[in-house]
A and B are shown apart, each in its own frame.
Chain A
Amino acid sequence: MAARGSCPGCGSAALVEDAHYAQQQLVCAACGCVLAEGLLTTTYTEEEHLREVAYSQSTGQKEQLSRCLQRGIRRVQDLCKVLQLPMVFEETAVSYFQRALQHPCFHLVSLEKKELLGGCCVFVTCRQHNWPLTMGTICSLLYAKQELFASVYLSLQKELGLSVPALSLGDLVKTHLNSFRLFQHTADVPATFVEDKEKMVARTMQIVELASETWLVTGRHPVPIVTAAAFLSWQSLQPAARLTCTFARFCKLAGVDLPPPAHLRLKELLEILLRMASQLAWLRVFNMDKKTVVKHIGDLLQHRIFLLKNAFCLEDGEEQRATAPGEGSASSPPAAGGAAQEEGCPSEGKRQREDGRRPLLPPCLINPRKRLRTAALSASDSAITGDEPISDSEIEQYLRGPEEIRAFRKAKAWS
């Protein structure tokens, strides 16, 4: 196309816009002098407008994403910022979210579910990097119902085929204790209640490990266990001042929720500790109960491997009781005596508590709930072929007689 102006070289007015290897050049038709070379224009409308356009707009990045996706991505990014996650997590979560939304089963769900989907992606990312984030935290951040979150999470895991490693308890302990407000002196916390964070974290970890070894953790929600363990470790670090403080009060002071199962976990932990205490020579003389055993948690944890071996027998009765010098059978609780115990141990589950050694089993096996079991198919049942003749009388028992129908019709207004 012809352009205005004159060539500085020859003065001719025949200026032509031409492309040299796709670079625009203003060239004189007469002498071939190049007046102007390719301007790198960023306009995407006609050149006359000559407006600067942002990179994201000219490359059409934003246009490719639907508004729903944009909003979702922003939500995921906000969540990551609130949880103070590293940048890598944010990128991973956003990519999962984009992949998930492309799936037909997530494409048309309600907005509520789409927001939960963003939370699930963040959750999955954290778990894959072993960042201890619990579902409870995410649900509270999203104001979501846990059942809905669970269903979205499970379908996300299935659709994208993600492998999510298990929650590591150790990291959870550290993160959960971070939220406790007992490590600094504040106005409402008595001076004796303040505790050193490192010591408390270390001892809580040990108690949680003990719980996991004694089957208290498998299948249970992890947070109540950590809360109960934190309470025990806190009490044991200064028993004199803290034994009078109840669990509920402790949680209130620490600024942490007291989940309902935590009381049961506490009870189970104390029971385990009491059993271990019964094997420690210098504690046998004391009459241990739930309160006093707390004072000796430090010792119990120190010797826990030995004590566990002695306090509990394995189900198959292979463990031989190591008779340490300080622990004669004489002072063992009644019905003991090495031989009786060794032969008694293989019978699992129903041992009396008094014999001092019970099998190391999950609580659901120690206290089985009496449940009505439907009997197995009897012989007559299994002889059914499925093609037996059906008698008319049997069927007629299920049909209403005419008077009954009349009465029924009168009673119920069939609209």
Chain B
Amino acid sequence: MDGASPLERYLERCGGQDDLSASPQLFTPMSPYDVDLPIQTTEDVLFGSQFNQPKELPTDFSSVDLSFLPDITQDNKEQNLSEDGHEMQKEPDGSTSRNEDSSTLMDESGLSYPDATQPSPEASGACPPLTPMTPMTPVTPASESSGIVPQLQNIVSTVNLACKLDLKNIALHARNAEYNPKRFAAVIMRIREPRTTALIFSSGKMVCTGAKSEEQSRLAARKYARVVQKLGFPAKFLDFKIQNMVGSCDVRFPIRLEGLVLTHQQFSSYEPELFPGLIYRMVKPRIVLLIFVSGKVVLTGAKERSEIYEAFENIYPILKGFKKAS
């Protein structure tokens, strides 16, 4: 991942950590435990070790669009915009509108940081724009975060076996394979443990689906490769990559989809004539969420587990704001 920006590398390292709790450390890379700020106790101990290599951490966090967080006000947003952040330019109006919604949400849901707006103007000169966030995020008690963890339902991965395969041969010699060249040009193979399905192409490329975790997907892909090896082909295990992860969860309250599409028009597509759910295309992280009236949410399009968790933490305050408003 040499081409990745420091930001992307950092976010990948965070993997699974809550975005809110990560921000204080970002601000002061040299001293993870800033005495001025009340910090969350438990999670920081875990994070502390991660932040002992501050050289790689980008101090310029203006490129991170944090306006989805419900506490950020218009002032903070403008400061972030003034800095030339490459990722911010993508949808400035989108984030602004989310920001405005977030401001109203803040009032309605009665969040416990009435002083949130004050620090921002003063802090602007002295510190990077991330500062206005820091007073708020550590104040977040653990109960404010949703407490719901999306469950991974499906992982799609690909691997290159790096040898040409005779699909007819494989279908003949393997019990768990089906091959119908008229319908599809690949062998469909299934194993019981972990319960997965693989599509094996004659070029040697393979797609593995159905696993419930990244490790399971890797194990399953290795088992398929072993089967192919035992069938007499010189299969290798190159370029294993997770292509897509799907997660789902339940927020446990009904959601007014018509209202959500009104306030988040740039991201939402709600066509009851076509599909009963609302399709929410989140920009950061780049995840597609299917939101249903029953409160069930499906998240897809992630390459990393952390993206799913991050996306859900982003959408939860929006959905909760809707529950109280109605």
A interface residues, Cβ below 8 angstroms from B: 134-136, 150, 153-154, 157, 163-167, 212, 215, 217-222, 315, 361-362, 364-365, 374, 376-377, 381-382, 384-388, 390, 392, 394-400, 404-405, 408-409, 414
Report how far A362 CA is from B291 CA in the complex, Å: 14
Contact A219 B273 (CB under 8 A): no
Q: How near does chain B come to A19, taking the closest CB pair, in angstroms?
A: 52
Question: Contact check: which of B191, B274, B277 meets A135 at CB < 8 Å?
Answer: B274
Determine the chain B residues whose CB is within 8 A of the CB of A157 once the complex forms: 269
Report how far A301 CA is from B218 CA in the complex, Å: 60
Contact B173 A405 (CB under 8 A): yes
Q: Can you offer 24 A-B residue contacts whose CB atoms are under 8 A?
A: A135-B271, A150-B271, A153-B271, A157-B269, A166-B262, A167-B272, A218-B293, A219-B293, A315-B254, A364-B294, A365-B254, A365-B294, A377-B151, A377-B213, A384-B215, A386-B216, A386-B218, A390-B223, A398-B174, A398-B176, A398-B191, A399-B227, A400-B172, A404-B175
Contact A384 B219 (CB under 8 A): yes
Given A219-B277, A219-B293, A387-B218: A395 and B223 interface contact (C-beta under 8 Å): yes
Q: How near does chain B come to A391, taking the closest CB pair, in angstroms?
A: 10
Report how far A74 CA is from B219 CA in the complex, Å: 58
Contact A219 B272 (CB under 8 A): yes
Specify which of B191, B230, B258 lies most central, judged by the most chain A CB atoms within 10 Å of its CB: B258
Report how far A154 CA is from B271 CA in the complex, Å: 10
Which residue of chain B has the shortest Cβ distance to A368 in the bound complex? B294
Determine the chain A residues whose CB is within 8 A of the CB of B266 once the complex forms: 163
Contact B172 A215 (CB under 8 A): no
Given A377-B213, A385-B215, A398-B175: A134 and B256 interface contact (C-beta under 8 Å): no
Report how far A154 CA is from B226 CA in the complex, Å: 42
Question: Contact check: which of B193, B217, B254, B273 meets A134 at CB < 8 Å?
Answer: B273
Contact A166 B261 (CB under 8 A): yes
Q: Tell me, yes or no, whether B276 is within 8 Å of chain A by CB.
A: yes
Q: Tell me, yes or no, whether B231 is within 8 Å of chain A by CB.
A: yes
Q: How near does chain A come to B133, taking the closest CB pair, in angstroms?
A: 29
Report how far A364 CA is from B294 CA in the complex, Å: 7
Q: How near does chain A come to B64, taking the closest CB pair, in angstroms?
A: 24
Report how far A165 CA is from B226 CA in the complex, Å: 53
Report how far A395 CA is from B274 CA in the complex, Å: 44
Determine the chain B residues whose CB is within 8 A of the CB of A215 once the complex forms: 254, 293
Q: How near does chain A come to B16, taking the closest CB pair, in angstroms?
A: 13
Interface flags for B226-242 (1: CB within 8 Å of A; 0: not) read 11001100000000000
Which residue of chain A has the shortest Cβ distance to B212 in the bound complex? A377
Q: Tell me, yes or no, whether B312 is within 8 Å of chain A by CB.
A: no
Contact A219 B151 (CB under 8 A): no
Given A134-B273, A163-B265, A386-B218: A396 and B257 interface contact (C-beta under 8 Å): no
Q: How near does chain B come to A301, taking the closest CB pair, in angstroms?
A: 21
Report how far A304 CA is from B77 CA in the complex, Å: 43
B interface residues, Cβ below 8 angstroms from A: 151-153, 168, 172-176, 191, 193-194, 212-219, 222-223, 226-227, 230-231, 253-258, 261-262, 265-266, 269-274, 276-277, 292-295
Determine the chain B residues whose CB is within 8 A of the CB of A212 once the complex forms: 258
Contact B273 A414 (CB under 8 A): no
Contact A400 B258 (CB under 8 A): no
Question: Contact check: which of A164, A361, A388, A414 meets B168 at CB < 8 Å?
Answer: A414
Determine the chain A residues whose CB is within 8 A of the CB of B293 once the complex forms: 215, 218-219, 362, 364
Given A166-B262, A362-B254: A414 and B172 interface contact (C-beta under 8 Å): yes
Determine the chain B residues whose CB is within 8 A of the CB of A166 once the complex forms: 258, 261-262, 270
Which residue of chain B has the shortest Cβ distance to A225 in the bound complex? B272
Report how far A387 CA is from B271 CA in the complex, Å: 44
Report how far A384 CA is from B256 CA in the complex, Å: 40
Which residue of chain B has the shortest Cβ distance to A397 in the bound complex? B175
Question: Contact check: which of B172, B212, B277 meets A409 at CB < 8 Å?
Answer: B172
Which residue of chain B has the shortest Cβ distance to A215 in the bound complex? B254
Determine the chain A residues whose CB is within 8 A of the CB of B273 once the complex forms: 134-136, 167, 221-222
Given A219-B293, A381-B212: A400 and B254 interface contact (C-beta under 8 Å): no
Contact B223 A362 (CB under 8 A): no
Report how far A150 CA is from B274 CA in the complex, Å: 7
Q: How near does chain A come to B152, taking the closest CB pair, in angstroms?
A: 8
Contact A399 B270 (CB under 8 A): no
Report how far A388 CA is from B191 CA in the complex, Å: 16
Report how far A315 CA is from B175 CA in the complex, Å: 52
Determine the chain A residues whose CB is within 8 A of the CB of B191 once the complex forms: 398
Report how far A343 CA is from B277 CA in the complex, Å: 33
Report how far A219 CA is from B274 CA in the complex, Å: 9
Determine the chain B residues whose CB is within 8 A of the CB of A135 once the complex forms: 271, 273-274
Contact A400 B270 (CB under 8 A): no
Contact B213 A384 (CB under 8 A): yes
Given A381-B213, A400-B175: A395 and B272 interface contact (C-beta under 8 Å): no
Q: How near does chain B come to A296, taking the closest CB pair, in angstroms?
A: 28
Determine the chain B residues whose CB is within 8 A of the CB of A386 once the complex forms: 214-219, 222
Determine the chain A residues whose CB is within 8 A of the CB of B256 once the complex forms: 218
Q: How near does chain A come to B273, taking the closest CB pair, in angstroms?
A: 5
Determine the chain A residues whose CB is within 8 A of the CB of B173 once the complex forms: 399-400, 405
